[in-house]
Amino acid sequence: MSKIAEAFANGKAFIPFITCGDPDLATTAAAVKEAVKNGADLIELGIPFSDPTAEGPVIQGANIRALRGGVNTNKIFDFVRELRRKISVPMVFMTYANVVFSYGTEKFISTCREIGIDGLILPDIPFEEKDEFQPVCRKYGVDLISLIAPTSANRVGMIAKEAEGFIYLVSSLGVTGERSEIQTDLTSIVNIIRENTDVPCAIGFGISKPEQAKAMADIADGAIVGSAIVRLLEQYGTDAPRYIGEYVGKMKAAIR
């Protein structure tokens, strides 16, 4: 069984997203530790990329700050090796195909296995092209996380049947970012997912408030929050981890 299943084993999962190296890797490490201490069940770590097409302005800004600070894939791998000495919850990388290709697909994914990364999210790879990565991911026991969006329509069941780790259900059209309300009929999408797989499903994009997290967790198996956390890093810099811990604690309490 995938280690990612542990995140969903004790009720609804709360999954924070943090961009590695914003503003520096020491702050990222502190933020992850505070998130876990306050109830995060799985950590989604962003590897910065110069053209993050799925991201809104907040996470785009984090990517720019991290890259300007000199963060690269090798530094992030070393960072995770060190982080794994303290953190046992499942962790996944979120990045883009070019990052993996340029590093070397097999080298990248085998290193993920070595350092304790449990899954990989590549939002710019459509379901029909996942065979570029999935055989290598399976070879090394790294789950390739499937995304399902409101536009997936008649492909939802097909994607769900082949899903591994967990399904990332995108709540809304567009890019990442906080939204005042989420109007997509997510319940019907989750129903189709559950007809086709037992793999857990977490909803992300647009969630920032405890009541939103609860509403999403009531529909699915967990909630993913990125922009609201990255905004705290933008606002507080190296002092952000304690604010992130407080925020994660409130969000986790809301979905329990």
Q: How many helices (H) and strands (E) does the chain have?
A: 11, 9
Q: Which segments within the chain are labelled E, that is strand?
A: 13-19, 43-46, 91-94, 119-121, 143-144, 146-148, 167-170, 201-204, 222-225
Confidence of residue 62 (pLDDT cuts 50, 70, 90): very high
Determine the angle formed by the axes of helices 240-255 and 227-236, rounding to 10 degrees.
Answer: 160
Give whole-number Cα distances, 32 to 36, 85, 208, in Å: 6, 13, 18
Per the rule left: phi > 0, alpha: psi between -120 and 50, beta: everything else, 204 is: beta
Average pLDDT, the chain: 92
Specify the pLDDT at position 179.
Answer: 41
CA dist 96 and 130 (Å) reads 13
Partners of 124 in the β-ladder: none
The answer to whether residue 174 scores a pLDDT higher than 60 is no
For the chain, domain boundaries: 3-255
| Pairwise CA distance, residues 213 & 216, whole Å | 5
State in words which class domain 3-255 has: alpha beta
Say how many residues make up the chain: 256
Percent of the chain at pLDDT > 90 equals 83
Question: Is the torsion defined by CA of 23, 28, 34, 36 positive or negative?
Answer: positive
Per cent of the chain over pLDDT 70 is 93
Say what the pLDDT of residue 181 is: 52
